[in-house]
Structure 1
Amino acid sequence: MNRRAAGLNRFGLTLLGALLLAGGALVLARALGAWGAGPSRERLLTDGLRGFPDDNAWLWPTVAAVAVVAALLGLAWLLAQGRSERVQGLSLEDDRSEGSTRISSSALTAAIEQEVDDFPGVEKSRARLLGTREHPRLVLTVSYGARADLAALRRYVANSAVARLRSALDRESLPTVVRLRLVDSEGPRSLA
């Protein structure tokens, strides 16, 4: 899930939760007599309110239209959850007028994972290409053992592995985030 969708999720769910909480608090306050003993004993739906649908023919079509809109918004929200920032593939040519060569991101990430995994002391690495096809960025998580030379590992990733990937893609730059995790007998700990 991308950051924008996650932010919208948090905002929408917070707003919905606040509205439901406020509505519940108002009904509870009325039932407990916050506005006096009279309103707390009265029915919540008066006779006039119960007869309102019979007197207004437009009510049920309006309720149906609102329900359809709510269902469509829910479906759009559900579909947005499946989208991610992951890049599926990259084109190696800027000018596609004479054809193009496309390489899958899984092939690229598998290559850099294999290269980093071969460094002494590295237990496992995981790479992901995020962003767009025009502006990809690499996120690389490297789990290493206590005997690995951390300084040499960082230099190798930056100056060798990522540089080769940039060269293979024929790109001047490839924004990269490298997360290093020390793996010991107690489990992984994140360091950077």
Structure 2
Amino acid sequence: MDRRASRLNRTGLTLLGLVLLVAGGTGLALGLGAFGGGRSSQPVLSDRTRQFASDHGWYWPVVAAVAFVLALLGLLWLLRQGRSHRIRGLSMEPDDDAGTTHLSSRAVSDALENEIEEYPGVGRARARVMGSDKRPKLLLNVAYGERADLAGLRSRIAGDAVPRMCGALERDSLPAIVKLRLVPTKETRTVA
């Protein structure tokens, strides 16, 4: 999930949570008599609302339909959150006569992570193969220390690691997004 969608999700959930918190707190306070004893013993719906609902037979079915649609939208949103664009495997040599070899994308990304973590100054590398079987993409996050040679690190990733992965996947090229992140070393943390 990209940052914009994550930020939108967090903002929406925060606003929804605040609205529900205020509504629940108000209902609880009303029920406990915080706004007067007379209000706590009154029905939830006013006489006017109950009269309107009894006069119009469509009222409760519409309320139920709206609640159902909102619940369905919430469920779809929840299922979408768990969906990843990560692919599980890649097909190699897709040939009807010779057959197809399937390669786990996790195995490929683990090998790439292990290789990059061996580079001088790299603390941690995380790789994910995204997209589709026919058009895979690489998302690579690399955390490096202050003593790492950034130009050398970028050069080795672009010149060695990614081309080696392309060769393993039998592809001419592989679109890649590489995010490099500077992390303080332990010596710097203790001094500061």
What is the TM-score normalised by the length of structure 2?
0.69
**1:109-146: per-residue Cα shift (whole Å, max 9, x none)?**
11011111222232221111122222221122222233
* Superposition pairs of residues 144-159 of structure 1, within 5 angstroms: 144-159=144-159
Shift of residue 174 of structure 1? 0.6
In the alignment, the residues of structure 2 paired with residue 154 and residue 85 of structure 1 have an alpha-carbon distance, to the nearest angstrom, of: 25
Give 1:165's aligned residue. 165
**1:4-62: per-residue Cα shift (whole Å, max 9, x none)?**
96587479x39x86xx7xxx9xxxxxxxxxxxxxxxxxxxx886544111112222222
Provide structure 1 residue ranges, at least 5 long, that are not aligned to the other structure.
25-44, 188-192
Give 1:179's aligned residue. 179
* Superposition pairs of residues 112-151 of structure 1, within 5 angstroms: 112-151=112-151
Aligned with 2:123: secondary structure?
strand
In the alignment, the residues of structure 1 paired with residue 60 and residue 95 of structure 2 have an alpha-carbon distance, to the nearest angstrom, of: 56
In the alignment, the residues of structure 1 paired with residue 96 and residue 7 of structure 2 have an alpha-carbon distance, to the nearest angstrom, of: 36
In the alignment, the residues of structure 2 paired with residue 7 and residue 145 of structure 1 have an alpha-carbon distance, to the nearest angstrom, of: 28
Give 1:106's aligned residue. 106
Where do 4+ consecutive residues of structure 1 move more than 4 Å?
Answer: 2-11, 45-49
* Contact 2:94 2:101 (C-alpha < 8 Å) held by counterparts: no
Provide structure 2 residue ranges, at least 5 long, that are not aligned to the other structure.
24-44
In the alignment, the residues of structure 2 paired with residue 97 and residue 51 of structure 1 have an alpha-carbon distance, to the nearest angstrom, of: 74
Cα RMSD between the aligned structures?
3.0
One-letter amino acid of the structure 1 residue matched with residue 116 of structure 2: V
Number of equivalenced pairs: 160
* Contact 2:127 2:141 (C-alpha < 8 Å) held by counterparts: yes
**1:63-93: per-residue Cα shift (whole Å, max 9, x none)?**
2222222211111111011112212211113
What is the TM-score normalised by the length of structure 1?
0.69
In the alignment, the residues of structure 1 paired with residue 97 and residue 156 of structure 2 have an alpha-carbon distance, to the nearest angstrom, of: 37
In the alignment, the residues of structure 1 paired with residue 8 and residue 98 of structure 2 have an alpha-carbon distance, to the nearest angstrom, of: 41
In the alignment, the residues of structure 2 paired with residue 9 and residue 97 of structure 1 have an alpha-carbon distance, to the nearest angstrom, of: 47
In the alignment, the residues of structure 2 paired with residue 146 and residue 4 of structure 1 have an alpha-carbon distance, to the nearest angstrom, of: 29
Tell me which moved more, 158-167 or 117-126: 117-126
Shift of residue 96 of structure 1? 4.7
* Contact 1:142 1:179 (C-alpha < 8 Å) held by counterparts: yes
* Superposition pairs of residues 63-82 of structure 1, within 5 angstroms: 63-82=63-82
In the alignment, the residues of structure 1 paired with residue 4 and residue 135 of structure 2 have an alpha-carbon distance, to the nearest angstrom, of: 17
In the alignment, the residues of structure 2 paired with residue 149 and residue 4 of structure 1 have an alpha-carbon distance, to the nearest angstrom, of: 31
Tell me which moved more, 90-99 or 173-182: 90-99
Distance change in 2, residues 1:51/1:119 (3 Å) = same
* Contact 1:5 1:81 (C-alpha < 8 Å) held by counterparts: no
